[in-house]
């Protein structure tokens, strides 16, 4: 599974960082950045949570 992040949609809510600390971080302006676009299986639940809570629909998990 591959994570896709559309940074120009991001509203800097920080929710993805809270949900999946190992996969997301924020730049100096609080905009989300991807640490890991192919996270290990054990992180997938966290990433799914991040997808669910992102208020701006900026994160997607795609079959790869």
For residues 29 and 18, what is the distance between their CA atoms, to the nearest angstrom?
Answer: 17
Q: Which is nearer to ligand SF4, 10 or 47 (CB)?
A: 10
Binding-site partner at residue 59 among ligand SF4, another protein, none, CB < 5 to 8 Å by type: ligand SF4
| CA distances (Å), origin 38, targets 10, 21, 28 | 20, 14, 23
| Sites for ligand SF4 among residues 21-60 (CB under 6 A) | 32, 54-56, 58-59
CA separation for the pair 8, 44 (Å, rounded): 23
Sites of contact with ligand SF4 (CB under 6 A): 10-16, 32, 54-56, 58-59
């Amino acid at each position: 599974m591959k994570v896709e992040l559309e940074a120009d949609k991001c509203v800097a809510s920080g929710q993805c960082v809270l949900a999946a600390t190992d996969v997301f971080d924020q730049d100096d302006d609080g905009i989300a950045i991807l640490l890991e676009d192919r996270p290990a299986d054990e992180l997938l639940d966290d990433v799914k949570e991040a997808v669910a809570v992102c208020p701006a629909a900026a994160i997607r998990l795609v079959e790869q």
